[in-house]
Structure formats: C-alpha cells, structure tokens
Amino acid sequence: YFERDLTPPFVLDDGQLAVPDGPGIGVDPLPDVLDAVTVSREDVT
C-alpha cells in the first residue's frame, strides 16, 4: 500500500520506521495513482 501510493516510500530500519520530515504529513501521494482511483472530482475556489 505505502510503496504503491506514497512518495517517498516509508523505510523500515531494524524494525523501526523513521518519521518523515517533509511538510505536512511528510509524504506526498502519487498523482497517477490518485487519478487511477478517482471516481469524481470537484474543484472549489
């Protein structure tokens, strides 16, 4: 799930998961994957 949907993927090191240090939650969804599973979209301005 994480390797397919997020960039950069989470990396386990000796059974521990490092906390991502990027902005927000630290990871970004892959746009192509989101487009493939999106049923409808609405932009709000």
pTM score, whole prediction: 0.48
Q: Is 43 a residue whose pLDDT tops 80?
A: yes
Amino acid letter, residue 21: D
How far, in Å, CA of 29 to CA of 45, rounded? 22
How far, in Å, CA of 40 to CA of 3, rounded? 24
In terms of DSSP H, where are the helices of the chain? Answer: 2-5, 31-37
pLDDT for 20 equals: 79
Predicted confidence band at 3 (pLDDT cuts at 50, 70, 90)? low
As beta bridge partners, residue 16 has: 13
